[in-house]
């Protein structure tokens, strides 16, 4: 066999192998993990604030729609995104995992609650609340003592969403916090734990707290608690001077029917 013919066959084989390699790469590059990863980066690259006016890329809504189209298939890529070198990608990944509410993300999000970055920490706590897995409770409880009020509020709201009875006692001191927002969130949260000991606490808040935000959440908490003993207090709250309290009391009574 001539050297020229051998070389020609070798080139054909190499060309076939190259085409196969390209096909494999194209398939790999087209997987949900790769696609979602690119979409996260695209969303993170969007500028914010006033300079958004000069941005010529795709709108956030369009990128978000593409991510949403993957549904729960996006979860592995989003979990990978939590450890991305770009903080913007990490923030968006945590937010998206909360939107999906998939329990597969709980362990990775728990790790992120211990980060120094306050944004990834807060978004991870919020996502854990939306997922609602009791596995996150033990991690969240120590964070109730955090010095930052906004972060503490996020933790209380997350524990309320999870509704784990173990959170009742740690949450209880926060119904007396000097911050109105903390007291309101704690009132709702202790009701959501389902612990019967919350009944007199919520009744007292609903009838005596001077701030309507707290009374509103106390009424809502009683509705989530769902105990018959709350009925008369809620009926009395239908005469509250605040329309928000009256509405919350009405909705709670309806919930308890």
Q: Cα(78)–Cα(85) distance, rounded to whole angstroms? A: 13
Q: Which residues contact 186 (CB under 8 A, 6 or more apart)?
A: 156, 171, 172, 174, 175, 177
pLDDT surpasses 80 at 179:
yes
- pLDDT band for position 51 (cuts 50, 70, 90): very low
pLDDT surpasses 90 at 45:
no
**How many residues does the structure list for the chain?**
257
- pLDDT band for position 55 (cuts 50, 70, 90): low
- pLDDT band for position 42 (cuts 50, 70, 90): confident
User: Which class is domain 32-44+60-131?
Assistant: mainly alpha
Domain segments of the chain as ranges: 32-44+60-131, 141-257
pLDDT surpasses 50 at 25:
no
Q: What is the pLDDT of residue 118?
A: 94
Q: Cα(205)–Cα(105) distance, rounded to whole angstroms? A: 36
32-44+60-131 and 141-257, same CATH topology:
yes
pLDDT tens, residue by residue, 228-256: 999 999 999 999 999 999 999 999 999 99
Q: Cα(214)–Cα(206) distance, rounded to whole angstroms? A: 7
**What is the CATH topology of the domain spanning 141-257?**
1.25.10
CA distances from 151 to 122, 137, 186, 211 (A): 6, 16, 13, 22
- Position with higher pLDDT, 184 vs 115: 184
Q: What is the pLDDT of residue 13?
A: 66
Taking alpha carbons only, the member of 6, 2, 3 closest to residue 14 is: 6
Predicted model pTM: 0.80
- pLDDT band for position 27 (cuts 50, 70, 90): very low
pLDDT surpasses 70 at 56:
no
- Position with higher pLDDT, 37 vs 196: 196
- pLDDT band for position 130 (cuts 50, 70, 90): very high
Mean pLDDT value across the chain: 87
Q: Cα(118)–Cα(120) distance, rounded to whole angstroms? A: 6
Give the orientation angle of helix 243-255 with respect to helix 212-225, to 10 degrees.
0
């Amino acid at each position: 066999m001539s050297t020229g013919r051998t070389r020609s066959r070798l080139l054909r084989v190499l060309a076939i192998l190259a085409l196969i390699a390209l096909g494999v790469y194209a398939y790999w590059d087209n997987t949900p993990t790769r696609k979602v990863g690119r979409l996260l980066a695209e969303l993170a690259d969007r500028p914010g604030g006033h300079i958004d006016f000069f941005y010529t890329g795709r709108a956030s809504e369009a990128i978000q729609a593409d991510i949403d189209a993957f549904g729960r298939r996006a979860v592995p890529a989003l979990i990978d995104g939590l450890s991305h070198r770009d903080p913007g990608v990490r923030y968006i990944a945590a937010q998206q995992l909360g939107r999906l509410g998939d329990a597969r993300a709980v362990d990775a999000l728990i790790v992120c609650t211990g980060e120094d970055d306050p944004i990834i920490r807060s978004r991870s706590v919020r996502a854990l609340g939306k997922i609602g897995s009791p596995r996150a409770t033990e991690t969240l409880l120590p964070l109730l003592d955090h010095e930052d009020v906004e972060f503490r509020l996020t933790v209380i709201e997350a524990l309320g969403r999870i509704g784990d009875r173990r959170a009742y006692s740690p949450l209880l001191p926060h119904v007396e916090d000097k911050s109105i927002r903390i007291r309101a969130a704690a009132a709702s949260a202790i009701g959501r734990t389902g612990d019967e000991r919350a009944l007199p606490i919520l009744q007292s808040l609903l009838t005596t707290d001077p701030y309507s935000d707290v009374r509103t959440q106390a009424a809502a908490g009683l509705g989530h608690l769902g105990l018959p003993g709350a009925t008369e207090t809620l009926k009395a709250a239908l005469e509250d001077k605040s329309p928000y309290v009256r509405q919350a009391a009405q909705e709670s009574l309806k919930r308890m029917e």
